[in-house]
């Protein structure tokens, strides 16, 4: 009986041939494929994260530019006082006195009349003009005088805290 089992065409010989086939995937090949998948996934994740960070930074820059464009440079500080034309019954405002400071988030700004523009708006009209041409423009503002409250140096730049 054992002689039939041990023959070249016997059962053990057939079982031996089943496990002798080395055409399958080895552990080393599996590890190489796994590492390749990990590398590809890491590159893809890096690309997605970089694109997301770039988009976020671009959106932030665009939002800041929009805020800077839409915001005012100056804000009134304290009371705004209007002085009449000096008649017993004033018919127009001759002078307006106000202190200004930098608006929140604004950087240093020029207060030189050639760099300023004034916009006046009421229920009936809107008038915009440059401060340096106020004397020659036909409009509501006839002249602009800028005075520094403290110090004697000429006023050309308003800084934070002034």
Q: What is the pLDDT of residues 55-109, one digit of tens each?
A: 999 999 988 887 766 666 777 788 878 787 777 777 777 777 877 777 776 777 7
Q: What is the pLDDT of residues 141-159, one digit of tens each?
A: 666 666 666 656 666 666 6
Phi, psi of 98 (to 5 degrees): -155, 150
SS3 of 98-129: EEEEECCCCCCEECCHHHCEEEEECCCCEEEE
pLDDT at position 41 is: 96
Per-residue tokens: 28: 């080393």
Phi, psi of 83 (to 5 degrees): -110, 130
For the chain, the domains span 11-69, 74-158
Q: Which residue has the higher pLDDT, 49 or 75?
A: 49
């Amino acid at each position: 009986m054992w002689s039939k089992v041990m023959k070249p065409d016997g059962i053990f010989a057939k079982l031996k041939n089943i496990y002798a086939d080395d055409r399958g995937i080895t552990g080393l090949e599996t590890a190489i494929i796994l590492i390749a998948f990990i590398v590809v996934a890491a590159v893809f994740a890096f690309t997605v994260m970089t694109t997301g960070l770039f988009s976020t930074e671009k959106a932030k820059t665009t939002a800041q530019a929009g805020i800077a464009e839409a915001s005012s440079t100056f804000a009134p500080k304290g009371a705004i006082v209007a002085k009449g034309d000096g008649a017993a019954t004033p018919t127009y405002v001759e002078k307006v006195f106000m202190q200004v400071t930098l608006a929140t988030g604004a950087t240093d700004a020029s207060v030189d009349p050639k760099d300023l523009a004034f916009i006046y708006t009421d229920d009936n009209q809107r008038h915009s003009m440059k401060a340096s041409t106020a004397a020659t423009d036909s409009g509501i503002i006839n002249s602009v005088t800028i005075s520094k409250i403290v110090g004697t140096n000429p006023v050309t730049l308003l800084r934070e805290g002034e």
